[in-house]
Amino acid sequence: MIHRRTAIAFLAVSAVSALSATVGCARKSGESKGGGAPSSKISVKGSDTMVILGQRWAEEYMKQNPASTIQIAGGGSGTGIAALINGSTDVCQASRPLKPKEQGEVKAKRGHEAVETRVALDALAVYVNAASPITAISLPDLAKIYLGETTNWKDLGGVDHAIILYGRENNSGTYAYFKEHVLSNKDFAAATQTLAGTSAVANAVKGDAFGIGYGGIAYLEGVRALGVKKDATSPTVMPSLATAQDGSYPLGRYLFFVTAGQPQGLAKAFQEWVLSPPGQAVIESTGYYPLPKT
């Protein structure tokens, strides 16, 4: 049984690689035509947080430029960065900046420096169930929860019940961001349940009265975002456009497009459009925040 399934997976993989090889050829021939609006195809891959955003951008852009095809895929920032390193995607969407090690690998394997461009702003929300009595949390308390040091809601003024931890799998930019900015790079508690995608986390917290989770501000349906305090004595800040743009919300973060070298052709045109007012206008309809106007 296992053998047969592995064999099928193997066949699927070879089919996909054959297909992508064909696509690669098609892309080259498309570029050689040149002239006018770039008529070609690029793939954009990476952050699960940014998948919906990327899709909306691509839809709008392709509506205005029917000759262009932009394929958006998720998988996580880590997956996108790995794809950028391996050369299997043109643009990587990332919800965190690249690590020095990853920048080195892009340079080594692609021959160009990785170029990160800020394209949108997100506030990482801390979700609790709608029925939870908790309304605000400080970053040190949040860290203790996810390090497994605080395990009961009663320590935070809630009911006497174990805290059920939900998080993202370790290829997620959200995982990396949270680990760095909240946990000071210490390891998540082993009891953290890792789910595929922010919507899965939000869904789990929605169904679990004692759950806690984290993820992009765009996924608030059925769950409630906690106010966040930088430390025990600082004021509570709710995630919002204003607090994310002025930097007062402690878990605000930029979302990036990453390319190997400056973007070329369609990737360049797409990125310029994303940063233009029509592109930035798309962001708010998806629940994220446009870049502050400088």
Q: Look at residue 214 and give its three-state secondary structure.
A: strand
Interface stretch with another protein, choices 15-23, 161-169, 214-222, 265-273 (CB under 8 A): 161-169
Question: Within a 10 A sphere around the Cβ of 12, how many other Cβ atoms?
Answer: 10
As measured in angstroms, the least distance from the Cβ of 267 to another protein is 22
Q: Does 242 bind another protein (CB under 8 A)?
A: no
Q: How far apart are CA 60 and CA 54, in angstroms?
A: 10
Return the residues of window 52-81 that contact another protein according to CB under 8 A. 75-76, 78-79
As measured in angstroms, the least distance from the Cβ of 109 to another protein is 9
Q: How far apart are CA 294 and CA 202, in angstroms?
A: 33
Q: What are phi and psi of 280, to 5 degrees?
A: -70, -30
In this complex, which beta carbon is closest to another protein, that of residue 180 or of residue 272?
180
Q: Does 48 bind another protein (CB under 8 A)?
A: no
Q: How far apart are CA 223 and CA 200, in angstroms?
A: 12
As measured in angstroms, the least distance from the Cβ of 91 to another protein is 17
Tokens of 68: 């262009």
Site map (CB under 8 A) of another protein, residues 173-212, x = contact: --xx--x-----xxxx-xxxxxxx-------x--xx--x-
Q: How far apart are CA 51 and CA 49, in angstroms?
A: 6
In this complex, which beta carbon is closest to another protein, that of residue 47 or of residue 138?
47
Q: Does 291 bind another protein (CB under 8 A)?
A: no
As measured in angstroms, the least distance from the Cβ of 208 to another protein is 5
As measured in angstroms, the least distance from the Cβ of 185 to another protein is 5
Alpha-carbon distances, residue 242 vs 123, 180, 247 (angstroms): 11, 24, 8
Beta strands in 64-210 (DSSP E): 69-73, 91-94, 114-129, 136-138, 164-168, 193-195
Binding positions for another protein, rule: CB under 8 A:
1-3, 5-7, 10, 75-76, 78-79, 82, 85-86, 102, 105, 162, 164-165, 169-171, 175-176, 179, 185-188, 190-196, 204, 207-208, 211
